[in-house]
Amino acid sequence: MKVLYDEVSYVLKHENKLLKLVNSYKNSFVATTIQFKPLLKRVKSKNKAVVLGCNVSSIKDFKGDIIIFIGDGEFHALMIKKMNLNKKVIAVNPFNLSKREIRREDIKKFEFREAVAMDALKNANNVGIIVTTKYGQSRMKDAVKIKKDLEKKGKKVYLFLFETVNPDEFLNFKGLDCLINTACPRMALDDYTKFPAPVINVGKVL
């Protein structure tokens, strides 16, 4: 089957106010996701980039004072902060114009949640593995390998296959002690409270 990919952009209600807010920061680097790429044409800063998927490496070797991330959720902003610990990182929500500085303490909170999830996996009897069929995110081979490894340790392991992962589906499956996410790693950060069990990303398991 031939698959066509095209960029889809949001139409923002408060675009002018958003740009005024972003442009008020001097000597900044402005980053956003593909959904808000058209905004960059109106951003005054010469330092700007689009982050693709989970990769924030487009922001590197920046000598300025501050990094502005335009987007909802915390995943990308947190990853940017982890790569730029000595830079000030501000996350600006393009929908409600709220802004928040991402600090080292936020990274520590995420690392603590990862540690809790890893402990849950260690002591789990029933483990679910999340797999997506989406191109670029599907990691069925890794999921099967992890399933076999955990079963050797006496755990019961279930594979959950989605096109788009819906946390509500897990309400129909009781008794899971931990979930391993092989799909988009953003879920373990931005959506972890929506799942009925601790969620750990596959990179921490392999």
How would DSSP label each residue in 62-110?
Answer: --SSEEEEESSSSHHHHHHHHH-TTSEEEEE-TTT--EEEE-HHHHHHH
Q: What is the mean pLDDT of residues 21-45?
A: 94
The topology under which CATH files domain 109-204 is Rossmann fold (3.40.50)
Give the pLDDT score at 155: 97
Distance (Å, whole) CA 138 – CA 65: 37
CB-based burial of residue 198 (10 Å sphere; 0-12 exposed, 13-18 middle, 19+ buried)? buried
Instruction: Kindly give, in sequence order, each residue whose CB lies less than 8 Å from that of residue 187, ignoring residues fewer than 6 positions away.
Output: 130, 165, 181, 195, 199
pLDDT at 73 over 60: yes
CA 29 to chain centre: 20
CB-based burial of residue 60 (10 Å sphere; 0-12 exposed, 13-18 middle, 19+ buried)? exposed
Q: For 109-161, how does the pLDDT look when each residue is reduced to its tens digit (9 = 90+)?
A: 989 999 999 999 999 999 999 999 998 889 999 999 999 999 999 999 999 99
The topology under which CATH files domain 15-102 is Rossmann fold (3.40.50)
Report CA-CA distances (Å) from 130 to 76, 152, 170.
21, 19, 10
15-102 and 109-204: identical CATH topology: yes
Q: For 42-57, how does the pLDDT look when each residue is reduced to its tens digit (9 = 90+)?
A: 999 999 999 987 778 8
Give phi and psi for 37, each to the nearest 5: -55, -40
Distance (Å, whole) CA 110 – CA 185: 12
Give the pLDDT score at 96: 95
CA atoms within 13 A on the CB side of 51: 23
pLDDT at 2 over 70: no
Q: Can you give the residue ranges of every domain in the chain?
A: 15-102, 109-204
Report CA-CA distances (Å) from 181 to 38, 98, 143, 168.
31, 29, 9, 15
Give the pLDDT score at 64: 84
Give the pLDDT score at 4: 62
